[in-house]
A and B are shown apart, each in its own frame.
Chain A
């Protein structure tokens, strides 16, 4: 069935959002902002899943998005707890200062 806005437009939007999230991960110095860029990438992939679920009229895509959102919530909780713990020791969340494991 033909929709007023073709599905390709939504997929291109999802791709651009994903690439922006990837750029945010590379460019930002604050660990929390890197984490937020990862959330943007997850959101872009959710958008792509929903677009294809509508294209093929298959609700498995929606269920997949549901699980991605749930796992992202769990991951955010743990990631932020880790950042808070690192801050307690290092007094800084600048990723340039977190190079203790390099050789």
Chain B
């Protein structure tokens, strides 16, 4: 289907280009070029560039080609017959030869590569580490067969994460160290398998057992930095402390659990954001519209286990919500949240807008100034010539006025002053 579309629209674009070059009427040429630009805009849509296709239609066909048509009609160019030039009657032979040479030169690198572009290879899995434990600062040491030497991350404070590190696929062993004492806080080292494509976040959770010096677990959560939705945030909920399972529920403005008795069963009315999250199992990933909510974690009996009042979900973010056991032997649990910004989808206006305003801010301003200068230049260039008539009326005539008229009608040029003047080049 896509191949059919490509050959159809591409062939149409080529046809319109050939028509543009061969037709004699300039207006027909301009309209063929408009159709060609429309076909190219459709091809941009096929190439995951929706913003550029709309800009192509709006700017190229809607502004530039309209300008061309205005000028063609202003100069009455459609009336001039555009046959072969006087000076080179056999120009088309030379043009065809040059065009084939150019085509061969352009196609030569591709044919040497076998007419195959290399594929984009994934450099590896992005991995980052977070500290959700009671240890004030932790460092992580990663060791694996693909690494020349073990990688040691910087010290991660409680509630913080490192930046992403790209590691090729393979099996790695991770050691968690206390940054203050440089002592291993979890033995043996944890094994992590990376598949080279998906992103991963590893959280150190739990508290240091004063007797044995051990943490509970190194939790790995999948991380997805692609866009969740236009105005949604992504939540990843992990249950590390409630053996019977918990659910994340939106309590609503009254910040209380609302249940009704229906057919003898208590049914929860408040919307459940994340259904039953298994204890120390796979996390539940959901997207939710942005806003401020009163969230709560409920156990299967609809009792509130932990509250998150006035919780803000921002668009274009992914938040990891970890429910972990409270430290020092206390009952219940605590919640740790980690937020990361997501990348906009490929080709979207959001992506281009972000790049234009951060990486390319200076070129954008320079191009704006260029457009301003072009505007001023066009106005200056298209000013009407007003000086000629004034110059002529200021010249004093040494010949009487009736004789001037007779002479000028016979010679076809006006009679100037007696002294000959150099040609000014504007006749």
Q: Which residues of A contact B (CB under 8 A)?
A: 1-13, 15-24, 26-30, 32-33, 35-37, 39-40, 43, 46-47, 50-51, 53-57, 59-60, 62-63, 65-67, 69-78, 80-85, 87-89, 93-96
**Bound form: Cα–Cα A78–B377 in Å:** 7
**Bound form: Cα–Cα A94–B91 in Å:** 16
**Bound form: Cα–Cα A82–B98 in Å:** 28
Set of chain A residues within 8 Å of B2, measured between Cβ atoms: 3-5
**Bound form: Cα–Cα A15–B101 in Å:** 12
**B268 CB–A CB distance under 8 Å:** no
Quick one: closest A residue to B1, CB to CB? A4
Set of chain B residues within 8 Å of A33, measured between Cβ atoms: 26, 29, 82
Q: Which residues of B contact A (CB under 8 A)?
A: 1-3, 6, 10, 13-14, 17-18, 20-21, 26, 29-30, 33, 36-37, 40, 43-44, 46-49, 51-52, 55-56, 59-60, 63-64, 67-68, 71-72, 74-75, 77, 80, 82-87, 91-92, 94-96, 98-99, 102-103, 106-107, 110, 115-117, 119-120, 346-347, 351-352, 355-356, 359-360, 363, 367, 370-371, 374-375, 377-378, 381-382, 385, 426
Set of chain A residues within 8 Å of B44, measured between Cβ atoms: 47, 50
**Bound form: Cα–Cα A74–B64 in Å:** 9
Given known A-B contacts A30-B26, A43-B37, A60-B355, A87 and B68 have beta carbons under 8 A apart: no
Set of chain B residues within 8 Å of A8, measured between Cβ atoms: 110, 115-117
Output the least CB separation between B48 and chain A (Å).
Answer: 5
Set of chain B residues within 8 Å of A11, measured between Cβ atoms: 110, 117
Given known A-B contacts A22-B99, A36-B33, A81 and B375 have beta carbons under 8 A apart: no
Residue pairs across A and B with CB atoms within 8 Å: the count is: 213
A53 and B68 contacting across the interface, CB-CB below 8 Å: no
Please tell me which one of the listed residues A5, A40, A77, A78 contacts residue B3 in the complex, with CB atoms under 8 A apart: A5
B26 and A32 contacting across the interface, CB-CB below 8 Å: yes
Set of chain A residues within 8 Å of B119, measured between Cβ atoms: 1-2
Please tell me which one of the listed residues B26, B29, B49, B95 contacts residue A62 in the complex, with CB atoms under 8 A apart: B49
B10 and A74 contacting across the interface, CB-CB below 8 Å: no
**Bound form: Cα–Cα A26–B356 in Å:** 37
**Bound form: Cα–Cα A35–B87 in Å:** 20
A54 and B352 contacting across the interface, CB-CB below 8 Å: no
Please tell me which one of the listed residues A57, A82, A94 contacts residue B346 in the complex, with CB atoms under 8 A apart: A57
A87 and B40 contacting across the interface, CB-CB below 8 Å: no
Set of chain A residues within 8 Å of B55, measured between Cβ atoms: 66, 69
Given known A-B contacts A62-B347, A63-B356, A40 and B71 have beta carbons under 8 A apart: no
**Bound form: Cα–Cα A6–B120 in Å:** 13
Output the least CB separation between B4 and chain A (Å).
Answer: 10
Please tell me which one of the listed residues B106, B346, B351, B382 contacts residue A85 in the complex, with CB atoms under 8 A apart: B382
Output the least CB separation between A44 and chain B (Å).
Answer: 8
Set of chain A residues within 8 Å of B64, measured between Cβ atoms: 39, 72-73, 76
Please tell me which one of the listed residues A40, A67, A83, A87 contacts residue B20 in the complex, with CB atoms under 8 A apart: A40
Please tell me which one of the listed residues A46, A59, A76 contacts residue B351 in the complex, with CB atoms under 8 A apart: A59
Output the least CB separation between A89 and chain B (Å).
Answer: 7
A43 and B52 contacting across the interface, CB-CB below 8 Å: no
B77 and A56 contacting across the interface, CB-CB below 8 Å: no
Having A5-B2, A39-B33, one finds 17 other A-B pairs with CB under 8 Å, namely: A1-B120, A5-B6, A10-B47, A13-B10, A13-B14, A20-B21, A26-B94, A30-B26, A46-B52, A57-B120, A62-B52, A62-B352, A63-B352, A65-B49, A67-B367, A84-B74, A96-B86
Q: 19 A-B residue contacts at CB 8 Å?
A: A4-B1, A5-B6, A6-B116, A10-B6, A11-B110, A13-B13, A16-B103, A20-B14, A23-B95, A26-B94, A27-B21, A29-B82, A30-B77, A36-B33, A57-B346, A63-B360, A73-B64, A84-B74, A87-B75
Set of chain A residues within 8 Å of B107, measured between Cβ atoms: 12, 15
Quick one: closest A residue to B352, CB to CB? A62
A78 and B381 contacting across the interface, CB-CB below 8 Å: yes
B77 and A26 contacting across the interface, CB-CB below 8 Å: no
Output the least CB separation between B69 and chain A (Å).
Answer: 10
Please tell me which one of the listed residues B51, B56, B67, B92 contacts residue A80 in the complex, with CB atoms under 8 A apart: B67
Given known A-B contacts A19-B103, A62-B347, A54 and B48 have beta carbons under 8 A apart: yes
A73 and B14 contacting across the interface, CB-CB below 8 Å: no
Interface centre among B51, B99, B359, B370 (most CB of A within 10 A): B99
Quick one: closest B residue to A70, CB to CB? B367
**Bound form: Cα–Cα A56–B84 in Å:** 44
Set of chain A residues within 8 Å of B116, measured between Cβ atoms: 6, 8
B71 and A83 contacting across the interface, CB-CB below 8 Å: yes
